Structure 1
């Protein structure tokens, strides 16, 4: 079975057990079942709500059956866009902490550091930025890290265990915002199930989550997508030391000058709502899995003449940022 996204992507429905085998999950870590993990965490999270078709793939109506998950088929064209086969799908080394534009990657981000973070949550404005070169990209991201540039994009690294058969990672998000028109955003949350949670039922104490310490990915109002098992991490086994929100582009300078690839909506932060892209309700997760507003929010723009960022706070959006820009504009 191979449902197709209306935007040229092909997704294959793969048995969840086969995905675990293909990702070479260590034998001593297969004591737990992905679906059992999902049931356990669901009991201590808000009850799952109906998914509102967050992607064009979901709108096609060709969803994967229970017990399988949608995996985007990698094409030759995807691989050729990478600088090398070894670097295909991987994050760039170096990050905002070093205030660098390493490898042509440029950022406009807000970040917090100096504390212990067990997750983060935000609503991200959805746009379709123009990308001028096939070797470039433009993305918006919520990045939880321990000052390490590790991992990959989407499912291009082994290890992530997807438990949801209705959301296709790597599919085109729909609907998208328009300049001076309707605005759309999606809620994303990453959190660590590090606590030993108990519940009292008929005078019996039941252990709901035996401290596996996985990092969960959640969409919208409580829709669990999957998790990164704890054994994947060294620096993130306990908590993160920094959380970032914002945009990133690649400037390949293939024509000898700065790219015109857009970040966000392609407009500067100062234009505000309906014109500039935003993140709203920025929050972090503390040690007892409570959501907290940000304190000591820092802003960083590698190249503010091309992409900038501004922050604010109000009673409706909490902490928020506007960010982005047109790239080369002179």
Structure 2
């Protein structure tokens, strides 16, 4: 075959292959999409429970009022057929303020609608929520493959105050709420309490609560009230909020995962939320309270190994994900986005830090240490006074001249 005939023949062959290959790809891609959609819908059926009432939140969230004993926690084999427990004994020294802190700190409650007694409000998970996730199986989970208090694992950076070296049965703090800028969908910024036990290896147990901005999880940049737990260092157990069987909610006015309002403003009004986590001395479950006397729910003790007994460390502070997606340090902000030295109404704070001792007493901290993984990006400064007790300012802007 001469070269003049061979060249057009090869070109024709390439064109036929291109059309055939394109057609083949078009044939298989919809099958993959269908499979993915089927997986998503099956997962949504598991976590979105039938509701007796649906509330449309002003921010676009849909809140389902679900009968208490039909919430996701009761899918757990050890909880199946049970109902939420009665309130536990509160820690001694836990003063209830005369003016009860309002439960209406979330945007959805501004609709004027509420969930009836005997139900709990659950933020509905949508197809879009799952489509944003890196995978359906890891949806609702923090992915950290190496976790240390004193180093950074997987781009997770911290500025925290912590206590260790004793046995802890709970923790309390008031957490300043801001709306920090998060650079991209796969990063987050949060401020929380960690109750920790086990080694910083595969057996790490944590209970966590606070506020977070997470575009991947929620699809926006609002700070949202959240909970978290894990028993194996964030590998296969645990999740945010009510996205798996675990946390049992008992409150019909607070939606975990819903947006918080108001938030603090630079040189303006400041807003904080008070959270208390403690171990019920009678049944051993870990309870969460918001404000003064507003019980949110509990983590059953059987979820945990080390936390079945007590915590060996308590942390308070901020965490961000630095994905370095643009090749330099992220500009995701922690706290207010300003460094600790700027102080009140400019930097974010934690105040009235306390822990619960073996006898269910709320006591002040006597050995608070502070640590920032990358102090040129996010830092922390602790203090103590008569009004705020133990406190600290923390946070920062992320990328700057000293944090390239």
Which category describes the TM-score, using the shorter chain as reference length?
0.7 to 0.9
Given candidates 69, 75, 82, the residue that maps to 1:23 is 75
Taking a change above 3 Å as real, the CA distance of residues 118 and 276 of structure 1, as seen in their structure-2 partners, is same
Provide the residue aligned with 1:37 in structure 2: 86
User: Is the 2:73–2:247 contact (alpha carbons within 8 Å) kept by the matching residues of 1?
Assistant: no
The number of residue pairs the alignment matches comes to 309
* Superposition misfits of 4+ residues, deviation over 4 angstroms: 40-50
- 1:119 corresponds to which residue? 170
Q: Distance in 2 between matches of 1:50 and 1:294?
A: 24
Aligned partner of 1:107 in structure 2 is: 158
Q: Which residue of 1 aligns with 2:315?
A: 244
Greater Cα offset, 224-233 or 68-77: 68-77
Residues 91, 356 of structure 2: 8 Å contact kept: no
CA distance in 2, matches of 1:116, 1:168: 31
1:162 aligns with 2:211: no
After superposition, the Cα gap between the structure-2 partners of 1:25 and 1:16, relative to the gap in structure 1 and judged at 3 Å, is farther
Q: How far has the Cα of 1:187 moved from its partner?
A: 0.3
CA distance in 2, matches of 1:306, 1:21: 38
Q: Distance in 1 between matches of 2:380 and 2:148?
A: 14
Indicate the structure (1 or 2) with the bigger Cα radius of gyration: 2
Distance 1:291 1:21 in 2: 28
Correspondence 1:14 to 2:66: yes
Gap runs ≥5 in structure 2? 1-52, 199-203, 205-232
Q: Which has the higher contact order (CA 8 A, sep 6+)?
A: 1
CA contact (8 A) 2:74 2:81 kept: no
Q: Which residue of 1 aligns with 2:187?
A: 136
C-alpha distance 54-296 of structure 1, shift in aligned 2 (>3 A): same
Shift of 1:290: 0.7
Supply the distance in 2 between the matched residues of 1:274 and 1:244 (Cα, whole angstroms). 23
What's the CA shift for 1:279? 0.2
Equivalent pair of 1:160/1:226 in contact (CA under 8 Å): yes
| Cα deviation, residue 268, structure 1 | 0.5
Q: 1-side partners of 2:363 and 2:95: how far apart?
A: 17
Residue range with higher mean Cα deviation, 54-63 or 105-114: 54-63
User: Compared with structure 1, are the counterparts of its residues 78 and 240 closer, same or farther at alpha carbon in structure 2 (3 Å cutoff)?
Assistant: same
Partner of 1:220: 291
TM-score (norm 1): 0.87
**Counterpart residue number, 1:57:** 108
- Alpha-carbon distance change, 319 to 46 in structure 1, aligned in 2, over 3 angstroms: closer
Change (3 A) 1:5 1:277: same
C-alpha change, 1:96 and 1:268, in structure 2 (3 Å) is farther
> Which structure has more helix as a fraction of its residues?
2
- Residue 73 of structure 1 and its aligned partner are, at CA, apart by 1.4
CA offsets, 1:11-36, max 9 Å, x none?
21111111167532416x856x41x5
Q: Residues 80, 111 of structure 1: CA spacing in aligned structure 2 closer, same or farther, 3 A cutoff?
A: farther
For 2:264, what is the secondary structure of its paired residue? coil
Compared CA separation, residues 164 and 25, structure 1 to 2 (3 A) = farther
Unaligned runs of 5+ in 1: 195-210
- 1:88 pairs with 129, 139, 153, which one? 139
CA distance in 2, matches of 1:94, 1:7: 36
1:181 Cα offset (Å): 0.5
Cα separation, 2, equivalents of 1:230 and 1:286: 17
In 2: Cα distance, 1:315 partner to 1:59 partner: 35
Are the structure 2 counterparts of residues 68 and 42 from structure 1 closer, same or farther at C-alpha, using a change threshold of 3 Å? farther
Partner of 1:193: 280
Query: What is the match of residue 313 of structure 1?
Result: 384
SS of the equivalent of 1:327 reads coil
2:387 paired with 1:297: no
Distance 2:363 2:354 in 1: 5
SS at match of 1:123: strand
Q: How many angstroms does 1:47 deviate by? A: 7.6
